Amino acid sequence: MEDVVDVAPTRGPLAGVLVADFSRILAGPYATMLLADLGADVVKVEGPAGDDTRTWTPPARSETSTYYLGINRGKRSMALDLRDSEDLRIAQELARRADVLIENFKPGGMARFGLDFASVRATNAGIVYASISGFGSGPGAKVPGYDLMVQAMSGLMSLTGDPDGPPFRAGISVFDVMAGNHAAIGILAALRHRDSTGQGQHVEVNLLSSALTGLVNHSSAYVAGGTVPYRMGNAHPSVFPYEPLPTADNDLVVTAANDGQFRRLCEVLGIPEIAEDPRFLTNADRTRRREELRPILVERLAARGALEWFDLLIDAGVPCGPINTIDGGFMMAQRFGLDPIVEVGHGDRAVPTTRHPIRFSETPVQYELPPPELDEHGPELRKWLNTPTDERDA
């Protein structure tokens, strides 16, 4: 990356990597936030109206959508109208100087601006160009890519909900997040390849492929076993107990997934003989006879509340956890010393955000820039992009 005046701090494992972020909504911005956390200089290119998620309210913080705030820290914003010739020239110059370009336009949509992979590569041979779509660049290119659609079309919704009830969506845009993670992984791998060869490449990620690999054991059940999984509510098809069970107050997720854990569960519940019962000796036995075993466990769990059982069972080495609301999840992370909330920015611009999930012993994550206002850094970026700064401009 070339020297830039007033740039974001360039510490971290991705220090010196310039990312031109032409993505919007969730999958792309989530990926670029992860890269920014790791030290990349991310320039968020927005249309004149800004990223759609800026206005996705409620909830909001100081009139800005918390949705937007949650996935855009560490970036600098520049508003460009790609239909304007001067703004388009600026965008193309940014692409020429970038190490990484990421976009989630409809497949082929960047070509009309001369910002597609082939056009960018013609002036920037080392570019790592990442495209995120809903259904790939083939016959599925004409289908808009929304997470809810992919949850339906991938089969996830057929697995979510009560066995006798309707299919349900997951509580988050799970495949947008998964595709964002896959895009970040692909970008890092392509940068490693470029370090070795000097060559950039096109990295393509689509939500449906991310969904199918993300269905893991359910995908394998079909691909390798010819079995179409079905909706089981909170039950696991291959392990028991591995689901919420009622206690004296709230449900507790109990995941005694092997024989040792099941023995310890029975000991804490005061029924050690159940672990030796021929009906329940192995996981396969317990899974086949779950309807016999469940009421035995529920009867014992009724003696205490979920949090009390949590402490007792965890101390005994039995995996379990209370079903929290989001605030409870953050409080649990705080209890475990994970410090889940970090404040980004200073003074009136300080924004609480969720800590990056990866920790590094040598290059810790930096939280320097709050989510940017629309075109907040436009003047300095335009000045830089209009100034020859390397030998290619001589």
Range(s) within the chain of domains with CATH label 3.40.50.10540: 18-214+341-393
Fold of 242-335: formyl-coa transferase, domain 3 (3.30.1540)
pLDDT per residue over 246-260, tens digit each?
999 999 999 999 999
Contact indicator for 180, 161 with CB cutoff of 8 Å: no
Q: Average model confidence (pLDDT) for the chain?
A: 94
- In this predicted structure, the answer to whether residue 46 has a pLDDT above a threshold of 60 is yes
- In this predicted structure, the answer to whether residue 72 has a pLDDT above a threshold of 50 is yes
Confidence (pLDDT) at 11 = 75
Q: Which of 357, 247, 375 is nearest to 313 (CA)?
A: 247
- Asked, as a colleague might, if the bond just before 340 is cis with ω within 30 of 0, I would say no
Range(s) within the chain of domains with CATH label 3.30.1540.10: 242-335
Confidence (pLDDT) at 7 = 45
pLDDT per residue over 80-107, tens digit each?
999 999 999 999 999 999 999 999 999 9
- In this predicted structure, the answer to whether residue 389 has a pLDDT above a threshold of 90 is no
| pLDDT tier at 390, thresholds 50, 70, 90 | low
pLDDT per residue over 147-170, tens digit each?
999 999 999 999 999 999 999 999
* DSSP-derived pairing of the beta strands 242-246 and 75-79: unpaired
Average pLDDT over residues 108-125: 97
The percentage of residues in the chain with a pLDDT greater than 90, rounded to a whole number, is 94
- In this predicted structure, the answer to whether residue 394 has a pLDDT above a threshold of 90 is no
pLDDT per residue over 280-300, tens digit each?
999 999 999 999 999 999 999
Average pLDDT over residues 298-320: 97
CATH number 3.20.20.370 is the correct assignment for the domain at 18-214+341-393: no
Cite the active site residues: 176
Question: Which pTM value belongs to this model?
Answer: 0.91
